[in-house]
Chains A and B, each alone.
Chain A
């Protein structure tokens, strides 16, 4: 893991809980709003709870 010097205590798992499932969802021009679930979960869905949540919310579980 690449720990940041300024916040070595920030666990990746806590970060991903918020960064992958949080933040205002706005429609950008580069559309990965749906794709971020499709793409990320292909290899990461087994690891990331927030992705589990997204997938469940999409009724796809």
Chain B
């Protein structure tokens, strides 16, 4: 069997009562004060060839991602836990023990930085366009060509104006929320095919927030929603987007 690594925290850490990516019961490897949450997974499904094949398939990626996330999210929140990147796999438990020893300094610093903060996503879309009959420029029956061009230009200007307003609003919201967060990141706008949204995405950001600041953060998100743009908060997430260490 291979050892699949989900997350790293500090002892004591109980394995969650949730099946892992291979439906296996998770367990904890302890080394040097660290606790690594792992599962034993079958090489037939998790060696390089199997993963290379599986990661081509969105359904399989989704299954893996959901199972990985579900397990990490079920870990107790009373101590720092660093989620590990999807599909980080060792030949045996010794590989994980070695990692915990060799990367102790960076991992310790990471856990200190994360604390018990949680990650919250905030997404914003521009309000729907006003109806076409709200055009400010009246049609001129005597000069249809000119009035057509004027209408086109007015529509283009209105679009540009709306876009600039949207960008400005997103910057403002992001600045406001960042002040209430320990760390903040803007993610790339989501693809319409996956999100199912056709409006322009103004903001796809994620924030690392202290527990004691969550109420203020939530209130600030609600306040931003009063602007007319649609705003959606997701979370709490385990701090996936903020669990980074420098490469050795």
* Residues on A facing B (Cβ under 8 Å): 1-2, 4, 6-7, 10-33, 35-36, 39-40, 42-44, 46-50, 52-53
Partner pick for A24 among B51, B56, B245, CB 8 A cutoff: B245
Residues in B lying within 8 Å of A, measured CB to CB: 2, 5, 8, 46-48, 51-52, 55-59, 61-63, 65-66, 68-70, 82-91, 95, 99, 103, 107, 110, 119, 121, 123, 187-191, 193-195, 204, 206, 234, 237, 240-245, 247
Q: Which of B5, B56, B99 contacts A42 (CB 8 A)?
A: B56
16 intermolecular pairs with C-beta atoms under 8 Å apart = A1-B62, A10-B66, A10-B69, A12-B62, A16-B62, A17-B241, A18-B121, A22-B242, A24-B244, A24-B245, A25-B247, A28-B88, A30-B48, A30-B51, A36-B55, A47-B58
B188 touches A53 (CB 8 A): yes
List of A residues within 8 angstroms of B66 by Cβ:
2, 4, 10, 15
In the complex the two chains form, is A17's CB within 8 Å of B190's CB? Answer: yes
- B85 to A: closest C-beta gap in Å: 4
CB neighbours of B52 from chain A (8 A): 32, 35, 39
Contacting residues, chain A, for B241 (C-beta < 8 A): 17-18, 21-22
Contacts A22-B240, A28-B95 known; 19 new A-B pairs at CB < 8 A: A14-B190, A17-B121, A18-B206, A23-B243, A24-B83, A25-B247, A30-B47, A30-B48, A30-B51, A30-B89, A35-B48, A36-B87, A40-B55, A42-B56, A43-B57, A48-B194, A49-B188, A49-B190, A50-B188
Determine whether the beta carbon of A31 is less than 8 Å from that of B48.
yes
Given A24-B82, A25-B245, A26-B99, does the pair A15, B194 have CB atoms closer than 8 Å? Answer: no
Q: Say yes or no: B191 contacts A48, CB within 8 Å.
A: yes
Q: Most chain-A CB neighbours within 10 Å: which of B56, B83, B86, B241?
A: B86
How distant is the Cα of A49 from the Cα of B61 in the complex, in angstroms? 15
With A16-B194, A39-B55, A49-B204 already in contact, the answer to whether A23 and B48 are too (CB < 8 A) is no
Query: Which of these, B83, B95, B195, contacts A23 with CB under 8 Å?
Result: B83
Bound-complex Cα distance A16 to B59 (A)? 12
